[in-house]
Chain A
Amino acid sequence: MAVGTLAARAAAPSSAGKTRGAIVIDDVVKIYDPEGAAVMAVDHCSLNIEAGEICMIVGPSGCGKTTLLNAIAGFHEITSGRILLDGEVLCSTEKPKAEPSSDRIVVFQNGALFPWKTNLDNVAFGPLMQGKLTKAEAADKARAMMADAGLAGVEHNYPGEVSSGMRRRVEIVRALMNEPKVLLLDEPYRALDSLTKSVMHEALLEIYYRNKVTIFFITHDLEEAIFLGHKVAIMTTRPCKPKKVLEVDIPHPRDYSVLTSKRFRELMEETNEAVHEEALKAFAAGEKEG
């Protein structure tokens, strides 16, 4: 790719916008049996996520949300059912484990920037490994994308030298460098304080409006879910499946004023009970964090 077109491409929404990144989760079951006794983590779970949509998965800790994410990313097998990406089968009963690939990139709960590489080298990592860009091209593109995300000036710092909020942003930019179809976020803001979190939410939306990538976002924070998502799927606790799927009809682009709007409060009220119910069940079952 010519370097000159990068700035233009970053400014305009991706031309492929609405055609890539549709996920269909079809009747997926996942059973673990580490100690001989079968534990059902995901129970006949079906969910449609449209291309370019932000889908928030809400459930108590340890309910099996991450299992679903791992299946999409290709870290774990499924027991039965299938998962499709843009109509292609990622995994199914016959081929239980998807191949990890740069069209589905995970942003991890505790962050997985390589601490031994500078922020710039981290961001440039994907295209370099895949041999898609030369070293100089990758560095140029990384620099441009970091500047777009408000990360100019920390390119040559190591991740350990910048704030945790910035690290998260670097990690998201590292993912977007590969022009993925889907971003899989596993409670990325869990460890952040609530002020940093609110900044990160707006930053994420800003990045999203520019890139229009499908986002699969796991959280246990209902407010976060309704604020960010087009769609909020509230999951039951182990086994995990959608208990209630909510279409959030607050128009995008959103900013923080949404939080005090009437519609937002109505949606919160409508869903709060379902979430609380599951939290109680999870508490009673004594599930460990995970």
Chain B
Amino acid sequence: MSAVTVEDHAEDEVVEILRQTMPLQVAGADLLRRIAAAGRRVTCEARTVLYEVDDIADDLYIIVSGEVRHTLGPGALAKEPTKVLKKGDVFGWAALLDKSPRRLARAVCTQRSELVRIGGEALLRALAAEPDVGDVVMSRFATMISSEFTVPDLTGQLRRIHRKLHAGDPQSMNLTLYRMSLWLKSPRPYLMLIGFVLFLGFWYLSVEVWKLPRFREMPGITTVIKEWLAREPTYGLSLYTDEYYKHIWVSVWRVTQAFFLATLLGVPVGLFLGWSRKFKEYVFPIFETLRPIPILAWVPLAIVMFVATESAVIFLTFLASFFATALNTMLGVESIDESYVRAANCLGASKSQVFRHVILPGALPFIFTGLQISIGVSWFSLVAAEMVSGQYGLGYVINTSYTMVRYPTIVIGMITLGAVGYATSALVRVAGDYMMQWRTRELALGAQ
């Protein structure tokens, strides 16, 4: 390496060179700049040996001008070991292999050549910073090595590179972030924003500007926001009062208890309904009779049955959730393709093993659909229950504010209910994604 002169970084030019190589075509400007920053431009005289087989593989090379002869050693099992590389070609990719890589080839300049050298580690780090693009770049390297350099047997090693980029293997996190970034790049968040602005704008105009007849008694948006943010609210409830959080907490706690109770009972009952035809014949007709009865119709009985109001409220909240969970779980079991059960039987699974390894995971997507519905329904019935009895909670707030003519507080209660309800159902969705990574990954593939 005697005749090497180092030139200064003409970074933009290097970026342009990188962009034109096959593996890096897909990289964005930022990534290319980061890679270029890790690179050095060098000029080598003719007959310079860049590396020999078994040297430590540290850098990756890109040809800016000139010509390099690249001869793979017998260990690489290449179909055509010798290849003459020209402008825009990439070599020295052994630097990207796993576990302290060694050179698999000998590379010699056949004429005076200009090259860009990039440290393999630095490149991998740059790619790992943008795993989605990095992944594609790595798979392009794999394609290049197998098709252009005719090396067949590196797939194993390359796959590990490919996987290594997914740092922290629970991929759901990466996937969530990836989806989030896609979402932000799409027009959807802005459309959503416009939707909100239009809706709130209509509220403002109809109540406070146009004063439409039907909206005369409605609290205006400015009144509500002022009340909500007031340190000393006119009607006693705002972001700064402890009372507000107490109401939220009581409602959340009731929903939590009812939801878990409904899940704990509903899932097993649903599994059993789907699993045993006999049980279904006993129970399902009762189910279908009770299910359509609105929660408000249960209020008197609930009060008679439970002396304490708290348990009455929880019972009412629990009821609708339980039906939703049990029913969806049952449908989940029934939706499982008979072939899965038969396959498990063929493979020697016992009845309980079939249940544990086929029925339960197979029904999980439906169970989580049920839980989504269940959490929504539980808020629904909670408010109904709290309006009838109870001393705290968001439903109670809305109802008492009505009787005491505190209209802005009604709206504060409603908005809070919407936000908290949305948050809890998002939590259920995240839990579902986490437990069904096979499905999240499948869906992610489908979306591409």
Contact = CB atoms under 8 A, between A and B. Distances in A.
B373 interface: no
Interface stretch (A89-97, A122-130, A210-218, A259-267): A122-130
Contacts of A116: 361-362, 364, 436, 438-439
Interface string A207-229: 00000000000000000000000
Nearest to A110: B339
A141 interface: no
Contacts of B362: 114, 116
Interface stretch (B10-18, B273-281, B315-323, B344-352): B344-352
Nearest to B443: A160
The winner among B348, B362, B439 for most chain A CB atoms within 10 A is: B348
Contacts of B349: 125, 129
Nearest to B345: A100
A2 to B, nearest CB: 21
Contact of A161 (B353, B357, B436, B441): B441
A178 B348 contact: yes
A152 B357 CA distance: 24
B342 A106 contact: yes
A160 B441 contact: yes
A126 B340 CA distance: 13
Nearest to B350: A129
B135 to A, nearest CB: 13
A161 B339 contact: no
Contacts of B438: 115-118, 158, 160
A104 interface: yes
A101 interface: yes
A116 B155 CA distance: 26
Contacts of A174: 347
B343 interface: yes
Contact of A112 (B163, B337, B436): B337
A106 B337 CA distance: 15
B445 A161 contact: yes
Given A112-B339, A116-B362, A125-B357, A101 B442 contact: no
A75 B342 contact: yes
Contact-residue bracket for chain A: 20 to 34
Nearest to A108: B339
A10 B139 CA distance: 31
Contacts of A152: 155-156
Task: Say what secondary structure dominates the interface of chain B.
Answer: helix
B442 A160 contact: yes
B357 A114 contact: yes
Nearest to A70: B342
A105 interface: yes
A112 to B, nearest CB: 4
Nearest to B358: A114
A129 B352 CA distance: 10
Most buried by B among A73, A110, A158: A158
Contacts of A125: 344, 347, 349, 357
A110 B155 CA distance: 29
B188 interface: no
B415 to A, nearest CB: 39
A129 B348 contact: yes
B246 interface: no
Given A101-B348, A116-B362, A106 B442 contact: no
A119 to B, nearest CB: 11
B83 interface: no
A153 interface: yes
A79 interface: no
B231 interface: no
A102 interface: yes
A105 B361 contact: no
Given A116-B361, A116-B362, A116-B438, A108 B343 contact: yes
B270 to A, nearest CB: 18
Given A129-B353, A161-B441, A112 B348 contact: no
Given A105-B346, A160-B438, A160-B442, A153 B340 contact: no
A130 B349 CA distance: 7
B216 interface: no
A158 B442 contact: yes
Contacts of A153: 155-156, 159
A73 to B, nearest CB: 7
B337 to A, nearest CB: 7
A105 B343 CA distance: 8
A114 B339 CA distance: 10
Nearest to B159: A153
Contact of B347 (A105, A115, A156): A105
A158 B441 contact: yes
Nearest to B349: A129
A114 B340 contact: yes
Contacts of A111: 339
A116 B337 CA distance: 13
A96 B330 CA distance: 31
A109 to B, nearest CB: 8
A115 B365 CA distance: 12
A152 B345 CA distance: 27
Contacts of B358: 114
A102 B346 contact: yes
Contacts of B439: 115-116, 160
Interface string B410-448: 000000000000000000000000001111011001000
A35 B155 CA distance: 57
Interface in B92-144: none
B152 to A, nearest CB: 12
A153 B445 CA distance: 18
B346 A100 contact: yes
Nearest to B365: A116
Contacts of B445: 160-161
Nearest to A115: B438
15 contacts: A102-B347, A102-B348, A105-B347, A106-B343, A112-B339, A114-B358, A115-B438, A116-B364, A117-B357, A125-B344, A125-B357, A129-B353, A130-B348, A153-B155, A160-B442
Given A100-B345, A106-B346, A115-B442, 18 more contacts: A102-B346, A111-B339, A112-B337, A114-B357, A115-B438, A116-B436, A117-B361, A125-B344, A126-B347, A129-B353, A130-B347, A152-B156, A156-B163, A160-B438, A160-B442, A161-B442, A174-B347, A175-B347
Interface of A: 73-75, 100-102, 104-106, 108, 110-112, 114-118, 125-126, 129-130, 152-153, 156, 158, 160-161, 174-175, 178
Closest 6 pairs between A and B when the two form their complex, measured CB to CB:
A160-B442, A126-B347, A112-B343, A112-B339, A130-B348, A116-B361
